[in-house]
């Protein structure tokens, strides 16, 4: 029988990465919402291919599964974050812990938006002529970077048996 540990050898690293990802996300969002006042401005052209815009996402990734109440999405995010934290506590590889911390920090940042605003604040918009990408935020970048890092680790640096 195995016991569930809530703290492991690399948990401090994981917690630090969670805090950095969460702090970066919430700081950028606070700045754009309160100092730049994006809800009033709506769009700032930075480059021919990049704008800062204001979009409220009531769904999951890329606005899919929109829901009038954010409670279900908050609960799912917290459950997934808890499972990922248990993975952090069992992990022995810094790359794994860093990747999971980025995902958890991003997920918690977007969850806090749902609690405070009833939707996730998204700002970054890449486009070129007729092509455009989804509008996203720092939490989304952390989640994607964490997933890419996990993929890198599993493909490029597989565990030695």
- Provide the token pair at 88: 């952090």
Query: Is residue 45 classed as helix, strand or coil in its secondary structure?
Result: strand
Burial 91-101 (b: 16+ CB within 10 A, else e): beeeebbbbbb
Given 25, 51, 113, 122, the catalytic residue: 122
Contacts of 64 (CB under 8 A, 6+ apart): none
Please identify which of the residues 25, 51, 113, 140 carries the catalytic annotation. Answer: 140
H or E element, residue 14: helix 11-30
- Catalytic site residue 140? yes
Residues marked active site are found at 122, 140
């Amino acid at each position: 029988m195995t016991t569930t540990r809530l703290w492991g050898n690399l948990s401090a690293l994981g917690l630090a990465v969670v805090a950095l990802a969460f702090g970066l996300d919430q700081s950028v969002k606070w700045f754009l919402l309160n100092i730049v006042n994006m809800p009033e401005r709506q769009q700032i052209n930075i480059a021919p291919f990049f704008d800062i815009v204001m979009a409220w996402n009531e769904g999951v990734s890329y606005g899919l599964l929109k829901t009038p109440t954010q409670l279900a999405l908050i609960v799912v995010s917290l459950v997934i974050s808890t499972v990922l934290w248990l993975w952090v506590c069992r992990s022995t590889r810094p790359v794994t812990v860093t990747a999971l911390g980025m995902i958890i920090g991003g997920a918690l940042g977007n969850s806090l938006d749902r609690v405070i605003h009833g939707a996730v604040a998204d700002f970054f918009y890449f486009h070129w002529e007729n092509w455009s990408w989804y509008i996203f935020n720092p939490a989304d970048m952390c989640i994607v970077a964490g997933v890419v890092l996990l993929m890198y680790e599993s493909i490029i640096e597989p565990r030695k048996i």
